[in-house]
């Protein structure tokens, strides 16, 4: 067994609306260990995006506990949560979220700027990461000058900037064709195998989910029981 990275205990989330309380997550229990490769699946409205936001410390629970590498996130204020995100988490989004006026090198280096890394060290690691994702010759280009698949590779490199232990990818292939989606998933598999990074992918695509060794199926805000085979 690997080191425990994530533990959710009776995790519930509701939002207050004019019509009253809107429940989204119900008593979710979940443990992820280092080296896990997990797909979170489920229909629209099942709670998978809210679960991803909780795991990424972008949203907080209404009740229950979320432990990230043993630290109770519910006891932390906004600044402490931001530091935790910067130290342990990497994010990849469907829309890439790159800065269009900045070079690819600067986009990858940005999280290290917030972490207080020196400029020389930022640029050196950003170059190494662009090489890692197969884009070493494009460092000075801007996002608008490369393809969607290349932009997503830059986003993966940026997510790795601060050496996260948990990589969260929200529909990372949603804007990509099937061939490019396969390349991005192959990159996730390689990072997971070579560096032991825990990877969590939210996806509605069965082909993408098929790359992952484990699946968490969300139904009406709950984790569906794992299917059991014949006795």
Q: Give pTM, 2 decimals.
A: 0.91
* Owning domain of residue 127: 4-223
Helix ranges (DSSP H) in the chain: 48-55, 78-88, 104-114, 119-132, 148-159, 178-195, 206-209
Reported as half-sphere exposure (CB side, CA atoms, 13 A), residue 64 has a value of 21
Residue 80, in any domain of the structure = yes
Residue 134, in any domain of the structure = yes
Q: What is the predicted pLDDT for the residue at 229?
A: 46
| 35, pLDDT greater than 80 | yes
Residue 228, in any domain of the structure = no
Cα–Cα dist 216/231, whole Å:
22
Residue 137, in any domain of the structure = yes
Domain CATH number, residue 48: 3.40.50.300
Cβ atoms within 10 Å of 100's Cβ, excluding its own:
10
The dihedral built from the CA positions of residue 38, 42, 46 and 48, taken in this order, carries a sign that is positive
Mean pLDDT of 39-57: 93
Residue appearing with tokens 């080296």: 35
Residue 98, in any domain of the structure = yes
Q: What is the predicted pLDDT for the residue at 17?
A: 86
The pLDDT tens digits for 196-227 are 999 999 998 999 999 999 999 999 999 998 66
Residue 230, in any domain of the structure = no
Q: What are the tokens at 98?
A: 């790159």
- How many domains does the structure of the chain reveal? 1
Residue 229, in any domain of the structure = no
The pLDDT-based confidence of 231 (bands split at 50, 70, 90) is very low
């Amino acid at each position: 067994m690997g080191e425990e990275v994530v533990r959710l205990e009776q995790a519930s989330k509701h939002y207050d609306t004019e019509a009253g309380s809107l429940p989204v997550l119900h008593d979710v229990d979940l443990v992820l260990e280092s080296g896990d490769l997990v797909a979170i699946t489920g229909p629209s409205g099942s709670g998978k995006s809210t679960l991803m936001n909780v795991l990424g410390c972008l949203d907080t629970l209404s009740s229950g506990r979320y432990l990230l590498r043993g630290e109770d996130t519910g006891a932390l204020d906004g600044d402490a949560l931001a530091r935790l995100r910067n130290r342990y988490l990497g994010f990849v989004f469907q829309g890439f979220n790159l800065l269009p006026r900045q070079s690819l090198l600067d986009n990858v280096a940005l999280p290290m700027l917030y972490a207080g890394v020196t400029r020389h060290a930022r640029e050196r690691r950003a170059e190494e990461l662009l090489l890692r994702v197969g884009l070493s010759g494009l460092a000075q280009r801007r996002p608008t000058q490369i393809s969607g698949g290349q932009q997503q590779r830059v986003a993966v490199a940026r997510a790795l900037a601060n050496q996260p232990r948990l990589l969260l990818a929200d529909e990372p292939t949603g804007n990509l064709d099937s061939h490019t989606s396969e390349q991005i998933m192959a990159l996730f598999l390689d990072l997971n195998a070579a560096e032991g990074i825990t990877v969590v992918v939210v996806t509605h695509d069965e082909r993408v989910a098929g790359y992952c060794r484990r699946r968490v199926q969300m139904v009406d805000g709950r984790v569906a029981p794992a299917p059991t085979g014949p006795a």
